[in-house]
Amino acid sequence: MSGERAENRRLFRITGADRQEFLQGLVSNDVAGLETGLVYAALLTPQGKYLADFFLVPMGDAILLDVADSLADGLIRRLTMYKLRADVQIEPSGLHVSRGLGTPPAGAYRDPRHPALGWRAYSEAAGSEPQVDWDAIRVAHCIPESGIELIPEDSFILEAGFERLHGVDFRKGCYVGQEVTARMKHKTELRKGLAIVEVRGAAAPGTEITAGGKPAGTLFTRSGDRAIAYLRFDRAIGEMNAGAATVTRAATADAAG
| For the chain, percent of residues with pLDDT exceeding 70 | 97
Per-residue pLDDT at 153 exceeds 60: yes
Q: Are residues 168 and 201 in the same domain?
A: no
Q: Are residues 134 and 242 in the same domain?
A: no
The residue from 138, 161, 184 where one domain ends is 184
Q: Are residues 155 and 211 in the same domain?
A: no
pLDDT value of residue 1: 53
pTM of the full structure = 0.94
Q: Are residues 226 and 212 in the same domain?
A: yes
Question: Could you read off the pLDDT of 169-224 as tens digits, one per residue?
Answer: 999 989 999 999 999 998 778 999 999 999 999 999 999 999 999 999 999 999 99
Does residue 257 lie within any of the structural domains? no
Average pLDDT over residues 107-134: 95
Number of domains into which the chain is organized:
2
Per-residue pLDDT at 45 exceeds 60: yes
Does residue 108 lie within any of the structural domains? yes
pLDDT value of residue 126: 87
The residue from 158, 184, 210 where one domain ends is 184
Q: How many CB atoms sit inside 10 A of residue 98's CB?
A: 23
CATH number at residue 210: 2.40.30.110
Does residue 25 lie within any of the structural domains? yes
**Structural contact between residues 155 and 48, judged by C-beta atoms closer than 8 angstroms:** no
Q: Are residues 197 and 180 in the same domain?
A: no
Average pLDDT over residues 74-100: 96
Q: Which domain holds residue 163?
A: 4-184
pLDDT value of residue 238: 94
Per-residue pLDDT at 2 exceeds 90: no
Q: Are residues 89 and 176 in the same domain?
A: yes
At 57, which amino acid appears?
Answer: V
Q: Are residues 117 and 194 in the same domain?
A: no
Q: Are residues 158 and 49 in the same domain?
A: yes
Does residue 254 lie within any of the structural domains? no
- Distance in angstroms (rounded) separating the CA atoms of residues 172 and 47: 19
Does residue 255 lie within any of the structural domains? no
Q: Are residues 44 and 144 in the same domain?
A: yes
Q: Are residues 22 and 77 in the same domain?
A: yes
Q: Are residues 42 and 107 in the same domain?
A: yes
pLDDT value of residue 251: 81
pLDDT value of residue 257: 42
Q: Are residues 29 and 141 in the same domain?
A: yes
| For the chain, percent of residues with pLDDT exceeding 90 | 93
Grade residue 254 by pLDDT with cuts at 50, 70 and 90: low
CATH number at residue 63: 3.30.1360.120
Does residue 120 lie within any of the structural domains? yes
- Distance in angstroms (rounded) separating the CA atoms of residues 4 and 102: 13
- Average pLDDT of every residue of the chain: 95
